[in-house]
Structure formats: C-alpha cells, structure tokens
Amino acid sequence: MGKGKRKKTNDDVWVDPGVERIPNGPPTILMDEHGKETIHYWSPHRRREKRPTKSMDAGSATLPSLYESMGNEPPRPMEGEAGLDGFLPEVVANVGVQPAQKANPLPHSITATFVERWAQKLLDIFRSRETDPDIGTPCYNKPGHDPVDRPLQLWGAGLWPASFSRPQTAFTVHVLGFFSHLTFQAKTTAHDFYGTLRRITSNAFFEDVKDRYREFMTAHRQFNYVHTLKRFAFDVKKKLEAGCLALRCPACPHPDVNMDPNWRERPEKDRYKDALHYAKDGNFHLSQHDKKMDHADVPLMDGAAYYVHSDAYRDYLEKMNVYEGAQEETTTCSNFNALSDSYKGKIKTGQVGLSCTRHGFVLPCGTVDLHIGERYANVDYATLSGLQWFHSLHLLISSYDVNCKYGIHWWTRLEKIASLVPSVPGVTLAKEIWPAIRRCVPKWHLASHKGLCQWLFSFYYTPGVGNTDGESVERRWAVLNAIGRSVREMGPGHRQDVIDAHNSDFNAQKMFKIARHLQAKLKDAQTNSAKHRLQLDDLEATHRLNKSPLDEWKKEEAVYIAHIVNGDFDSQKMKNPYQPAADEVPTAQDVLAELKKKDAVQREKRLKLTGSKRKASALDDTAAGPPRRRGLGDLFVAAFDLERQQEALKEKVREHKKEPSSELYNRIEKERDALEGKLKDWSIWQEREMGAILTTMEDELDESVWPSSTAINPEEAAMLVPSSYPPVVREHPSFERFVSVERRLREAHAHDILRKVRQKLHYEAFYRSQNAGAFGQQARTRYTKLKATERTKIEVLRKEYEYVRVKAASLAPLGEPCELKALSDKDCMPPVIAEEKTGRRKETVSWIWRDKTFHGPALEKWALEAARVEWCRASARVARWGEEVEIVQEEMRRVQRFFKHWMEVWDVRAKVPCATLAQRGAAAYAAKQAAMYSRLLLNARALFPVAEHIQLPTPLLSPLSVSVADAVDNDGERNVVVPATDHLDVDEDVTMHDL
C-alpha cells in the first residue's frame, strides 16, 4: 500500500469496516490517495494487528442502506467478502446474495425488526454487564458455545451496533450514556452532540469524518429503550402494561404502596390529607411539523411511560369526532387562547399533560398530542388515562387554566365517551364511585379570569388544598420547551420516545431531591402558620372590642366550607364570604332601562287617550327619523357616543398636524363625511324630542343665549344636550326634565368608566407581576409592552372620565354639588385590598378604591364590608397554612413508605435463583436498586422530624453492604443468588440514568 494520510479517531465513535476483530483500544485509520483504508489499533494483548484487505477499487463495493441493514431482508455482503477469514465465518458463509432489484422494506420495519429480533437479546447482555467478567473484552465465539450473532458480540464488547444485518458502525456504551446525561441536563440535541464529536476528531477538516448522525440517532433511541426496560425490570413485550415504565411520585398517594394503613377510615374533614393534587395544561412548543416523514413510525414505549397508547387514542379521536364539527369551546371567562385552533404547518400542534400539582412529577399515561387545538375531548382523555390508578381515593384536587368552564359538563361528556368508547379507563364508573373533585384555577392564571371565578376557583379560598399554587405543570414546560425545536422535526414515534425519556429524567431528579424539598416546605409552613394564627387572633380581638358581628362571619364561612366539602355549592344561591360586595351604583344601562320603562308607560297612556286609529298626516310626521320607541335617554346616550367619535377624530387631526400624510388626511376626510351624516340624523331626532319645549322657551329668552351647532368641521360641532346650554336655559322650569335625565346618565357613565379603570388597573398589576417573574428578554419585553398598553388605555379612560365629570358638575343644581371626584394620574393605582400577598408595607389607597359608591352608598356599610372581607381572608390564610402543615407531614410519611416499598420489591428480585448470566446480572442490578432505595430512605429519615418517622423492619437493608452467596437447586444445578450489591459507584450505570 502506498503512503497514505493518517487520521486519528477517538474511542467514542468507531467505524467498523466489517471483517476485523473488534478492538479494545482507540483505532488509527490509514487512508491512501485512492480512498482505501487500513485500520490499526491496540488489542487487549498489546499486539499490533492489521486488517486484511482485498485489492479493489474505491467505491466498487455497494454498501447496504440503513433500511436494508436494519430491515427484515438478509444482509448483502460486499464484493470479495465471503472468502475472508476473521469475524463470524459461520454467519458469513450462510449469507446469500439478494437480488439487486428487491425493494427495501418500509422504514418503520426498522423499529419492528429491532423489537422482535434484537431487543431482548441486547437487554440480556445489558443485564449480564452487571456481573460478567468477560464483558468489555473481545470474547466472541467461545469454545463449546454456539456462535453468537455479530451485533450481540459487539454489544458484549461495549459497542452498540448502528445496524444489525451487517454492522458497519458502532457506538461505545460510554458515548451513548454520556449523551443521555448531557441531553437530560443541558437539553443538548443529537445534532449538536455528534457535531461536537466530529470536531473533536478533526476540527479543521471535520468533513473528512464520516457522517453517522442518522445512525447515532437510531442507536441512541434503541439504547435508551433497552436501558429503560432494564431500569424497570421488564422484558421486551409487544404491548407493555400501561405506565409500567414510568416513575411515580413518592409523596403522592398510591393505594397499597405508600398510604396510611387506615386512610379509608379517616373522617371526612381530614380526607384532604390523602387527596391527589393534579394539574393539567396544554403546551404548544412541543409540536411536530407537517413534513415528509414515516407516519407509521411507532414509539418503542407506546403507552408504557407517560404518553397514552397511540392506537387507543387514535381510535378515541375517530369515534368522538373531535375535529369534525367540534363544539365551540373558546368561550371562557378568561382571556386565554388555549382552545384556539389557528395552527398552520403542524401535524401536531402540541400536547396536553398531567402533573402532580404539589411536587411536579409527570403522571403516567397522562400526556396526549394535540392535532388542532386544546379541545375538551383531548383533555378528557388525558385526565381519564392519567387518573386510572387513583379511583379508590376519596378526593381529587384539580388545577387547570379554564377549570371554571371545563368542569361544568364533565359528567355529561363522560356519559358520551362511555357510550362511544367504553374502553377509556374509568369512564364507565358510576358518578358515586368517582372521588370527589374540587376544581381550582392556578394562582398566576386567576388574575386573568373575571368576576365570580376569581373567588370560587381560587387556591387561596378552597378548603383542603393547603398552600398549593397549581402552577407545577408550567415548571415542567419550562424544562421541556428547550427540546421543542428538536422534537418538532422528528418522526412520530421517535418524538414520543424522546419526550418520554426526558419526562422520566425529570421525575427521577425530583425524586432524589424530594426529601430535602419537603423538609424546606414543612419549615416554611410551620413558620407561616404560627405567624398568621397570631395575626388572626389579634384581628379577632380588635373586632370584638369594636363589637363587629364576628360570630355571623364565622357562621357564614363555616356554611360555605361545608357546602364546598359536600360538593353542593350553588354560586347562584349562596354567597362566597371571601368575595367583596358588588358595586351598588347603577350603571348607564340601568338608568337607560329605567327611562325606557317610563317612556313605555307614557306611550301606553297616550295610546289609551287617542285611540288606535291614526291620521295619514300623523303617519307622515313620524315616518322619518329614529323609531318612536327610542326616547330621551336613547337620545342622550347616542350623543355621548358621538362625543367619543368627535374626540377620536380630533386626536387623528392632531396627529396629522404633527406628521402630515396623504393617507391619514384622506382617512380623516372620510370619517368627517360619515360623522357629519350622523350629526344631521341626531339633530332631527333632538328636534323631535326637545323641539316643542325649546320653541316655547325661545319666546321667553333672549336670542343671544342659545348655542349653535354650526361648525366648519363636524368634530368641532357642539352636541345640543342640556349641558351645552347656558345656566339661564338649564335653570328654566320647562328644561328641568332634560337636565335631570342627562345628569343621571352622565353620573352613571362616569361610574362605568371608573369600573373600567379598576379593571385595567388589575390587568396592569397582573402584567407587572408577570414581568417580575419572567425569564429572558423576550418574555420581559412582551409583558412590558402589555403593561404599557394597559396604561395607555387607563389614560384614555381617565380623560374621558374628567370630561364626563365636568359635564355632570355643570348640571348639578345649586346646593347639591356633584359627588364625582377629580381623577388624576396619581389616583390610578392598583388596589391594596385586592392584593393577596401578606406582609405588604403600608401604602396610600387611591380614592377610587375608597369611594363609598365602590361598595355601597354608605361609608359605614363599606367599612363593615371591608372588615368582613379582611377577616374572612385572614381566616382562609390561617386555614390554608394549617392544612399545608398537615399535608406535608403526611407526605413525609408517604415518601418513607414509598422508598421502603420499592426497596423491598427490588430486594425480592435480587434474591431469585439465577440460572443464566442474564438472570445473574438482573439480580445484581436489583440488589443495587434495593440499596439505592435503602439509602434514599435513610437520607429522608435523617432530614424529616422524628415525629414523622414510620416504623421500619429490623435490620434494615444496608445500602453499602455486599453479600454474594451461591445456592443449589433441588436438581443440583448451581445458581447464583445476589441479595446485595457493591458500593453505589462501582459502575457508570449507578446514576439516575438507571432509574
């Protein structure tokens, strides 16, 4: 061979040319000018070996494609390969040359062939790696043993084959494990990781390194599947049990695993201690692009981890007709777009997932994909599937962004699902068998809801929820969104497997930290419970000195809580004690309705006097103009609307003066024409309603006092309402009715504006709090813009209020000053009474929140109402913190039982008789897992108060003990029993990756 170029490779990725023995050290590739390669490497015996080569031109051999090498058809050998000595001569000799014209199998057969033929064999070797002393050395065809398939020999040497018919590429177990940890921790994509490996090999000329990115993706997916089966002690099956490959939350209630032995006998008032807190939410970052892909690609862990089974879910969507004539679900009391279906270019628009609310663990089988938008049917299936293990509980506490609307027809939807798809878990259970469900809206989302929802579905005021915020699923999305740009380009099966793997790591990391997390929560809960109890005692003592009706308030709260606990609260008949009283000032519509009723009575009286027959001349007089059913109130309301249009047009004129443009000028002229026509119609209407009295008054008053509506531009024309006339006209006895009607409407209009200002201040405060907790410049910019938009709207409303206030003040008679106060910029501040955060410093409260009309006409009534709301909310805070203490203490006991349960389960698996090397490895791994759970249990008990310790068997399995004993069956066969394991750091697989 001529002198060639040397190319170093690392020990992470090694390209197997197909005929030499597998090396144990890093290879060196020699490549000549014709592209021929000679691979040198150091063997375990430190003997330099050289690959035997055949003289052939570069490119003369046809390499199999990925589909061929991993599909169902036998391998097609390279030209001149059959006569070579070396690797697997028995297998190579039996390989026939396939017809060149035979089509490759479908891509999805790669996954099917791997599962059916190779997965279990690779899993057995994986388990054997725990104890086999020959693992990692080139020990292929041992004397006296049957020949081993080439991919299995590779894996036995620590190399995962990228293909199985005739492997050409292999990846070390270390690089696959390292990438798993890196992608779980840093969310590194396979593309970036493999690109890094190529640069490490040759940074300047990485194109010289063969591109094995596609093979790496497939190999890691298969490796992760086999690794997951090993971690959960399952063999390969065509259909795994639902949720069998999912890691559960140690602190959540699991019947027959970690719950109190007497939990079923708890009194009803204490059942919240055993409740499951779960949250559901949609995520539209984890989408999938509608692109050319293998749509038949199935997930390897289908329905066994955190996703539902894809076939069952697809059948459900078809039978439920979810996307054909779907019901309109976008009408909610909130401003969310969660149910919107405006998603283009995506075959999957996102997912809906369930998490436990208190600890953030992903619930098994609680995740479904969305194809259009977040429909109730999608959420129903995720909820039913994720709750299938919790039907025996007494209480469920649900958190969902739109729970106020979602729960209304829950049972009706379940009846429909049961009639069409009875196989859905839990759908056929009777309503009486289902646990009671208390629905709440997450705390951060509650501010965007309206009216009654903010009190009925609040985590602050719902009994039994502790100090839960309901936002745990949002924290899960914050982690998973980092892989959104990667998974959206994957095939359906690969995407689901990757998301399941990240969910599993997410749960495992939380499990390792659960004990310290609960320790901190208990300390915080006990501190705040004592502090708020002291504050409530002082508040009650003050109210008793002031002779406040404290006993009535307590009775009102107790009745409310009893109805919530019993599930029979009716928001239409009962009052929520935590909700402030509604405004008692009539709105403009209330005043207008009252005026219409009076006008109707007057019309009825006239009709009785004049009879039903009318002359033709009378018909001619009323033919033009607005209908007669619209009276004086409608006239003034229409005038108010025209005034707003005039002000908006004036703003555009001012804008045009600052920055003239032809487009804006033409738009202004067009609006002027339209406004001028409206003003003419209104003038005719005004003449009809007020003309007779004005004509009479003209004879008595001087002509100079009458205002004129004539103007060059319509936006400058005066609206001839009573406030536009001079005092001498307004004070005339004949004009009193007009003045009274406008004054009432003006004052009602001013209070309507104040309501809008208060609402906008709530929104501004919400956006300010969101901005404070936002992460990243994009999120901060978004909330800053939203906050600025609300402030602009508030300023517009403030100016409108001032205009209306001046008009109303001009109509006030002598001796009766207008009660409307001036509204300045400083007055437009968020309310203190609506702030739930405790310990807030004293601040000045704007008059718009202290105005007696805000809660009633009497200041004393408002003060009493404010005192009642203040006491009820303080009482609720004390109750929630007290519940939090009890819940966390129960969670500590459940965590210990959970670790104890799985320690015992793995310990039993470690003590089974072992007849094969794979069984021995499985037993060793089980002992390692038992020791890990034992250590987690001991660590938890060291952090938890002694009062919360559960009783443990003596002696407890030591996490560091090592005891390997041999056993003999009845037939004399020598088997290995492994009751314990080595230290936790003996193998690289001891990390979280093995849970």
- pLDDT tens per residue across span 154-206: 888 888 998 888 888 899 989 999 999 999 999 999 999 999 988 888 888 87
| DSSP 8-class letter at 953 | -
pLDDT in tens, 779-788: 667 667 777 8
The rounded distance, in Å, linking the Cα atoms of 898 and 895 is 5
23 pLDDT tier (thresholds 50, 70, 90): very low
Judge whether 449 and 404 are in contact, CB under 8 Å. Answer: yes
Judge whether 529 and 884 are in contact, CB under 8 Å. Answer: yes
Instruction: Categorise residue 972: left if φ over 0, alpha if ψ from -120 to 50, beta otherwise.
Output: left
Q: What's the whole-number average pLDDT of the chain? A: 76
Between 754 and 72, the higher pLDDT residue:
754
pLDDT in tens, 355-386: 999 999 999 999 999 988 888 999 999 999 99
Between 207 and 122, the higher pLDDT residue:
122
Cα first-last separation, the chain: 51
Strands 5-8 and 436-440: unpaired
692 pLDDT tier (thresholds 50, 70, 90): confident
SS3 state at 606: helix
For residue 964, give the amino acid letter. V
Cα dihedral sign for 616, 617, 621, 624? Answer: positive
Between 116 and 897, the higher pLDDT residue:
897
pLDDT in tens, 718-756: 888 888 888 888 888 888 888 888 888 888 888 888 888
pTM: 0.67
The rounded distance, in Å, linking the Cα atoms of 963 and 977 is 9
pLDDT of amino acid 966:
36
For residue 385, give the amino acid letter. S
Q: Which of 39-48, 591-600, 896-905 has maximum average pLDDT? A: 896-905
Judge whether residue 324 has pLDDT over 80. no
Between 747 and 943, the higher pLDDT residue:
943
pLDDT of amino acid 878:
92
Lowest pLDDT segment from 334-343, 538-547, 939-948: 334-343
User: What distances in angstroms separate CA 228 from CA 206, 220, 359, 888, 938, one per listed residue?
Assistant: 33, 12, 23, 31, 26
Residue keyed to tokens 């599930």: 567
pLDDT of amino acid 573:
66
Name 5's bridge partners. 31
Chain center to CA of 460: 20
pLDDT of amino acid 202:
87
Judge whether 386 and 409 are in contact, CB under 8 Å. Answer: no
Q: Which of 374, 75, 15 is nearest to 197 (CA)?
A: 15
| DSSP 8-class letter at 987 | S
pLDDT of amino acid 105:
44
What are the backbone angles phi and psi of residue 894, rounded to the nearest 5°? -65, -35
Instruction: Categorise residue 776: left if φ over 0, alpha if ψ from -120 to 50, beta otherwise.
Output: left
Rounded mean pLDDT, 799-826: 82
